[in-house]
Amino acid sequence: MASEPRDELLATPHLISGYRLEERIGQGAMGAVYRAHQVSLDRRVAIKVLLPHFARKPEVVRLFLREARILAKLVHPNIVMAYDSGAQGGIYYFAMEFVDGPTLAEIVQRGGAIEQRRAARLFLEAARALEHAHFHRLVHRDIKPANLMLTGSGTLKLCDLGFALVRTTLGEVDEGALGTPAYLSPEQARGEAAVDIRSDLYALGASFYHILSGRPPFAGGTAAEIMAKHCAEPLTPLRRARFDITPALSQVVDRLLEKDPSRRYASPALLVQAMQEIVQAFERGDLAMRMAEPAVSASRPTSRKTDPNAETVVEMDASDLPEIKDPAPARPTAPSTPRSVRPAPDSSRPPSSRRTSALRRLRRR
């Protein structure tokens, strides 16, 4: 069995002054991430180091250090915090908050779709992170479950801003279809320059479609095939991918995944407002029945009705339907009399009249 290649940084753990590298814990597009100890403050941190073959490319170095500067501006409880950055002996690095929990991608991979109440709270925290990024005119451009991490206490943290775009009043030219194909917005997939925060909202919707259903909204054999589906293929609504989903939660995700950006939420603040209402409804127990029971149950039939004004489908329990009483049993009707059989005597005539008629028939005979 071939041994793993030697990690030179771990072989000389004090190579970056002021830090002691302990373990390599991940790798992104441009750099490797290490768990480390910051000696001066006696705390655990994560250090991202630019990969050696990129360190010789000035443009990649610029993007790497730019990520550190962007992170330093974003001080928010749901965004990983930057501490320090620098270069030593040709090694470019920046230190940041160490998050000791898994990513949402790892949680779904291990256990499948996440329970709705918990997912709704994480969804709200992710929306708040995007709201803060939007305030600083930032577009992340690579929102995905692997970039949504959990702390040991269960708080969500948005990380990895390597593809982030800072929008200015003059605009900024996009480098093309950056991001991860499974969660890429149609406008990013087409390589459009004028992407904005609504592109991140689409990616967040795609991420939570995956988190709530156990699979991404679109799949394919190649990245090009997946991106083409984001651009042209109709979405399978979340309520069809997970039959017990709360209708309000499904509607939020489906709206985020509209192909036309103008049909999505216009800003993260509006998404935060919608998710706050859903989380509060879960806490009050208003959505408990929707969460606990499937949309179609053998013991409690459901009906579907369409609001012609809102054009939305409303799920109704049998208890919501008006009571329908069984009709009274109809009186049995006498069978029609065959033509060969004489009709029965008219019971409405008096008995004496009926006897006289009978005597007349006998006399004729």
Catalytic residues: 142
Distance (Å, whole) CA 208 – CA 123: 7
Q: Tell me which DSSP letter residue 344 carries.
A: P
147 and 96 in contact (C-beta within 8 Å)? Answer: no
Which positions ≥6 away from 50 have C-beta within 8 Å? 30, 31, 60, 61, 64, 91, 92, 93
Distance (Å, whole) CA 46 – CA 23: 10
Phi and psi torsions of 94, nearest 5°:
-145, 145
H/E run at residue 148: strand 148-150
Taking every pair of C-alpha atoms in the chain, what is the biggest distance, in angstroms? Answer: 140
Distance (Å, whole) CA 272 – CA 360: 99
Distance (Å, whole) CA 76 – CA 132: 7
Between the alpha carbon of residue 103 and those of residues 12, 133, 159, the distances in Å are 29, 20, 10
Give the pair of three-digit tokens for residue 280: 């509060």
Between the alpha carbon of residue 238 and those of residues 140, 217, 253, the distances in Å are 24, 8, 7
Between the alpha carbon of residue 356 and those of residues 20, 240, 345, 350, 359, the distances in Å are 128, 80, 13, 10, 5
